[in-house]
Amino acid sequence: MNKSHVYYGIAILLGVIAGLFNIPFINTLSKAVSEIFIRIFKCISMPIVSLSVLIALSCYGSEENTSNIWKKTLFYTTLTTVLAASVAAILYTIISPPSVAISDNDVINPVLTNSSEGYLKYFLEIIPDSISKAFMEHNVLSVLLISAIFGLAIRAIDNREVNNTVINLFKGLHNIFFTITKFLVRILPIGLFGFISVSITEINNGFDFKGMGKYFLVIILANLVQGIIVLPTLLAAKGINPLHTFKGMAPALSVAFFSKSSSGTLPVTIQSAENNLKINPRVSKFVLPLCTTINMNGCAAFIFSTVIYVMQNNGLSIDFLTVISWILISTLAAIGNAGVPMGCFFLSASLLSSMNVPIELLGITLPFYSVLDMLETSLNVWSDSCVATIVNKQVLSNKD
């Protein structure tokens, strides 16, 4: 058994015990621990997402011989990720998970709760009048917009030396935050203790969590619908046999399911694509590593469902514009996933805490996250395979 799983189990057990005994000193300590981790999440969340999106859009496909493959990969990656978040949004609307509790906290999201001033004001706030202000106010949409513009602008720099220097600078900064994130994940059981303890205390005070079942159902169905219906339909529309593709990628999908690691599955994914589906190595060795970084269908579905559900449980209004906004944010955030264990969970917590939305409810999802992570990783690898297959066919069909 993985040591981290043991630590998570101990943290959950201690958190449950602390919450059940309801000792004032322990309650105060748990709230302090939760607050510390929330502050850390807020501190690093925007830089991580921003740098990941910026690098993803700037440093791939600069060479002429990979430009066409890059453009097609980016298009289909964005398309499938948007579809995954949209499927989650549709299922969330249909299933409509009930709230487990309504917080008394007066939580205000400056980006998503300005409907009284009209939609024009809402969209104007996405356009920042200061780059630093967007980060200081944790304006998620503005940060993502700035990052996307910077990434595309860097990629368009003609001077290769300048281009490489700027990219290396941002890569270095990204590695710094990535290293901090890895350290944070190592001590995450401490934060988990705080979240679980606070949650159990709330349950003892009349917290009703029967709505959690429907929330989990949304995530599971979103992964299944995307993997069984949406992606095969996309393959069929491109003249590719979905069943043949699935059979060819079965070894990689099996490894992904049990390993819960897209990057760890990558060697098997490339081997299955080249040997079973006869994908051109030039395509597979470029598209699949890139997709492993930015093509996170399962992560997009999880982020959308989780953020909307936690916001709903904290009394925030979820209207049509909010849903559309979070489809976009989930797509870009999935591209900016830090790529660490429990990356989707960590990123969801970071986005929520950056908007001052309490995240203690997330602690209750952790005992079940392992199963969700299996489905999400399998969907991610399956989506990577579909994108690589489509790009391979289109690139070969365009060859002279």
Which of 374, 314, 334 shows the shortest CA–CA distance to 113? 314
Instruction: Supply 237's token pair.
Output: 């529309």
Q: Which residues contact 294 (CB under 8 A, 6 or more apart)?
A: 56, 77, 334, 335
Q: What pLDDT shows up at residue 301?
A: 92
Cα dihedral sign for 89, 93, 98, 101?
Answer: positive
Give the chain's mean pLDDT: 79
What does the pLDDT read at residue 92?
95
Residue 110: predicted pLDDT? 40
Looking at the predicted structure, is the pLDDT value of residue 35 above 80?
Answer: no
Question: What is the model's pTM?
Answer: 0.70
Which of 26-40, 165-179, 330-344 reaches the highest mean pLDDT?
Answer: 165-179
Flag whether pLDDT at 290 surpasses 80.
Answer: no
Q: What is the mean pLDDT of residues 236-248?
A: 94
Which positions ≥6 away from 298 have C-beta within 8 Å?
84, 223, 226, 344, 375, 376, 377, 378, 379, 380
Confidence of residue 197 (pLDDT cuts 50, 70, 90): confident
Q: What is the largest CA-CA distance in the chain?
A: 74
Please tell me which of 114-118, 209-213, 371-375 the model is most confident about, judged by mean pLDDT: 371-375
Structure tokens at 220: 């599971």
Over 70: is that where the pLDDT of 129 sits? yes
Res 79: pLDDT:
93
Binned at pLDDT 50, 70 and 90, residue 28 comes out as: confident
More confident residue, 389 or 200: 389
Q: How confident is the model at residue 6 (pLDDT cuts 50, 70, 90)?
A: confident
Q: Which residues of 269-298 are buried (b: 16+ CB within 10 A; e: fewer)?
A: bbebbbebbebbeebbebbbebbbbbbbbb
Give the pair of three-digit tokens for residue 187. Answer: 């001590």
pLDDT, mean of residues 266-292 = 86
Say which CATH topology domain 3-397 has. Proton glutamate symport protein (1.10.3860)
CB 271 within 8 A of CB 254: no
Q: Is the pLDDT of residue 1 over 70?
A: no
Structure confidence at residue 249 (pLDDT)? 94
Integer CA distances (angstroms), 211 to 97, 184, 364, 376, in order: 6, 30, 12, 21
Question: How does 31-67 read in b/e, with b if 16+ C-beta sit within 10 Å?
Answer: eebbeebbebbbebbbbbbbbbbbbbbbbbbbeeebe
Q: Which of 65-74, 154-163, 253-262, 333-342 has the lowest mean pLDDT?
A: 333-342
Average pLDDT over residues 132-139: 75
Predicted confidence at residue 135, as pLDDT, reads: 78
At 142, the amino acid letter reads S
Average pLDDT score over residue span 141-146 = 78
Domain residue ranges of the chain, discontinuous segments joined by +: 3-397
Dist CA 349 CA 40 (whole Å): 11
Give the pair of three-digit tokens for residue 83.
Answer: 């579809």
